[in-house]
């Protein structure tokens, strides 16, 4: 049983470590998508700089969060989970990209699950 739990934990750790890093890096290149499209017009008008600059700041935060998951799994997983919920709520409140919001909630649950797995006594290594 412990080997299956460890396998799931490892898969989640690398998923929630690497995906935020890749998404964060893509905020600088926009290869996967034009990330600024996810900012509502109302929010964009409140920014003191261009939406692309805001998304680069978001990218740096995501890279840090991904590295945190890889190095301090429990803490990093809670950070990623909270970050995904915040993104989902922003999308829901603006009622744009609600499908992405739902997916982010599902991913937040997965990151939260990783954090909880990292708390169990069967994990002898520090997280």
The tens place of each residue's pLDDT in the chain, 127 residues long, gives: 589 999 999 999 999 999 999 999 999 999 999 999 999 888 899 999 999 999 999 999 999 999 999 999 999 999 999 999 999 999 999 998 999 999 999 999 999 999 999 986 555 555 5
Residues near 60 by beta carbon (within 8 Å), at least 6 away in sequence? 24
Task: Answer whether residue 38 is part of any domain.
Answer: yes
Range of the domain at 31: 2-117
Looking at the 3D structure of the chain, how many domains does it have?
1
pTM attached to this predicted model: 0.88
Cβ neighbours for 113, distance < 8 A, ≥ 6 positions apart: 12
Q: How far apart are CA 73 and CA 65, in angstroms?
A: 10
Three-class SS state of 15: helix
pLDDT at 17: 98
Residue 126 lies in a domain: no
Q: Would 122 be classed as within a structural domain? A: no
**Count, residues in the chain:** 127
Residue 125 resides in a domain: no
Q: How far is C-alpha 102 from the geometric centre of its chain's CA atoms?
A: 13
């Amino acid at each position: 049983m412990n080997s299956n739990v460890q396998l799931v934990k490892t898969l989640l750790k690398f998923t929630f470590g690497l995906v935020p890093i890749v998404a964060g890096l893509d905020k600088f290149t926009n290869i996967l998508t034009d990330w600024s499209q996810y900012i509502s017009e109302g929010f964009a008008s409140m920014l003191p700089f261009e939406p692309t600059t805001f998304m680069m700041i978001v990218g740096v935060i995501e890279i840090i969060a991904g590295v945190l998951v890889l190095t301090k799994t429990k803490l990093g997983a809670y950070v990623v989970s909270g970050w995904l919920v915040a993104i989902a709520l922003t999308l829901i409140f603006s009622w744009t990209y609600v499908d992405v919001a739902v997916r982010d909630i599902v991913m937040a649950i997965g990151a939260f699950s990783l954090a909880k797995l990292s708390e169990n006594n069967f994990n002898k290594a520090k997280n």
